[in-house]
Structure formats: C-alpha cells, structure tokens
Copies of this chain bind each other. A is one copy, B any other.
C-alpha cells in the first residue's frame, strides 16, 4: 500500500474520452490497494481562451479578477473527473483551492503556496475516497481565488503530496520520462531511471522543460519523491529523488542546451572598484537576468566584460547599457544573439576532478570554439556559436558514455 498523488496536465484531460482514460488509470492505482489523490489542470485550450477574454477586455486587467476567471478551467475538470470516477465505481470528491484550503500569498497570477491543510484529505483517502484537486489555484489571505502562474499544476501536485505525506507524486505528461538529452537531437538518448533533485534543477534551468523549476525546488525542499511518466503509455517513467536513493551515480547524468541566449561584451571598461555594480545594477533594475559572466583584465587599467542574457531581453539590455554609457565608460558594446549554452549536469562531478576537462577536449576535437565557461558544483556550461548546438550536444553525449546501446 502506498499513498500517491497523481497529476494530469491539460492534454491528458483535453476531452471527455481522455478524462475517462484518466479515470481508468486512477482506478487501477486504487485497485492495486493504493491511497490516491488526483491533481488536474484545465482541459487544454480552455485556459488560453479565458486568458484571451481578460486581455481583450483590458491588457492591464486586475490580477484578482484574472484569477477569478482563469481558475474556472480547473474547476470544470475536477467536477467532470469526479463524475467519471464515480461512474466506474470509484468513490471520489472534487476540491477547489479554497475548500481544502490551499493557502497562498497575495501575489495574484503567480502566487506562492504557503500552507495546505492536509488532515481532511488524509482522512478521506484513508477512508477510500479519491480527492480530485484543482491544480494551479489556491486562496489568498483576503479570501480571493489565486493562481500559481503557468505550469502551476505541477507545483500544486508536489505541495499536495507533501501535505498528505504521500509516498510519491506521479506527474503524467506527454513525454514518458527524463532523458539524458533531447532525443530529437540525439536519437540514442536514454531515459533515466532516476535523477537527483539538484540535477533536475540544473537540467530545468538550462532548457529541459519537463518539470516546472519551482515544483522541483519544492520537491527538493519537502523531500517529495516525484515520478515523470506518460499519460498515454503504460510504463514506468523517471524518478526525481534524493541523491541517496540513486545507487549507481554516473559522472554526468545529462547534456542540456539552451538557444535562448545572447552574449554582450563591453570593451575597455575602466578597471576600478564598483564597476560591476555600475554595469549590473541598472540591468537588474530593468528586470534583465544576467547569467554567465567573465572579465578579462587588460594591461592598461581597463577590462573586457562579457556576460549572457536571455535572447528576448537583449534589446532591453542594450538600451539600458547605452543609457549608462557615460557612467560606465566603456569603449564599445558588442552584442551577439547567435550563441547557445551547452551544459553537462551530474551529481558525480562533485567528487570527481577532470570531468570538465573531457568536455573541453571533446569540443576542441570537433573544432568548436568555447566563448564563455561557467561552472557550478554539479554543472559545467559553455557558450558556443549557435550553429554548433547539435554537434556539441552529440559529441558530449558520446564522450560521457550516455548513448544507448540499442
């Protein structure tokens, strides 16, 4: 007997047939003797329609009313799934955020879950009833419906799993697990049996979009075991768990890439104390996230500063820096949007030296120039010309022995 939270996204509940399919999956878990709670998103397309209505009425609409409108999508799905479950003999009851309650802060449209009252749901589950919970929503301190932002249903599921002390949170999605890299680039990419929380976070931050980053952070903090699996096929997925659970830890778990990068270089900036603050302060104030940063000291008391921003932020970044030209005092601003970030991620890197050296060597052998390097404890990222993305990913996937044998 296990206690499981099952989460189904919008494509899994897109119409009545798929809702019936979800009900059958839930029934199988119940019949296997498990205690089950379900978290669902809105039927796919519904949320977009609701968002569009709000935007058509006013681009600057009140976030509280926006939340009132868009939260209805999940409310419809929980009622329909509860009916579908009851119809096949599974005791079920729907729950909106305010009914549980799922308490959040007041940040409408992107609220944070603060507390979930789990006792009632645990009692229902213990008595054999399946709670069907609306994802993506909660209730704020002033008794107003809040939403958690796009992809927030993953977050709802993980938070609920923590609140009901579930053994596992199963996230059903349109991919069947987490891969060593993007299978569209490397057909021999392998599905991972298990990934550590920290690895998943690093992978998510560099482009592997399987799980929403905030939900992984929460799972790590609350030690919720997460499984990513397909809602259309019937086979095990990939576990996201504490590293202690992963018996055989490879040096590198996965290779990720991000094309949403742009490189900015400021030439011959005066090398004086406080210069970094002069550069990055205004960017931060303009909500431009800066990622990789390198600084090369010149001989003449100036320095070249290079850093990356997301490609969509590049125009804003240039604008902000041009306005600060006289204060910063750079000689030239060079911007290059044709770059990509390639990353290797693995808990094993923590205890093994020389892992990054293999990366640099493999890329050099393929004639790929590395423009910027940044490292964290379990990740090494390099910036390369965008046209080398696939070549670099494939080279690294082979170099670290990740190719499947099949």
* Chain B: minimal CB distance from A45 (Å): 14
Residues of the B chain whose Cβ atoms lie less than 8 Å from the Cβ of A50: 76
User: Contact flags (1/0) for A373-393 with B, using CB distance below 8 Å?
Assistant: 000000000000000000000
A143 (CB) vs chain B CBs: closest residue: B99
With beta carbons under 8 angstroms apart, the residue of B16, B64, B144 that contacts A57 is B16
Please, how many residues of chain A have a CB less than 8 angstroms from a CB on the other chain?
A: 37
Contact B99 A53 (CB under 8 A): no
Within 8 A of B (CB), among A27-68: 50, 53-54, 56-58, 61-62, 64-68
* Chain B: minimal CB distance from A71 (Å): 8
Do most interface residues of chain A lie in helix, strand or loop, or is the interface mixed? helix
With beta carbons under 8 angstroms apart, the residue of B53, B79, B86, B93 that contacts A80 is B53
With beta carbons under 8 angstroms apart, the residue of B19, B72, B144 that contacts A76 is B72
A68 (CB) vs chain B CBs: closest residue: B79
Residues of the B chain whose Cβ atoms lie less than 8 Å from the Cβ of A156: none
Residues of the B chain whose Cβ atoms lie less than 8 Å from the Cβ of A64: 93-94
With beta carbons under 8 angstroms apart, the residue of B62, B66, B78, B80 that contacts A54 is B80
Residues of the B chain whose Cβ atoms lie less than 8 Å from the Cβ of A87: 57-58, 61
A71 to B79, CA, bound (A): 10
Q: Can you report 15 residue pairs joining A to B where beta carbons are below 8 Å apart? A: A53-B80, A54-B79, A57-B87, A58-B84, A61-B86, A65-B80, A65-B83, A66-B79, A66-B83, A68-B79, A68-B96, A69-B75, A69-B76, A71-B75, A96-B145
Residues of chain A whose beta carbon lies under 8 Å from any beta carbon of chain B: 16, 19-20, 50, 53-54, 56-58, 61-62, 64-69, 71-72, 75-76, 78-80, 82-84, 86-87, 93-94, 96, 98-99, 143-145
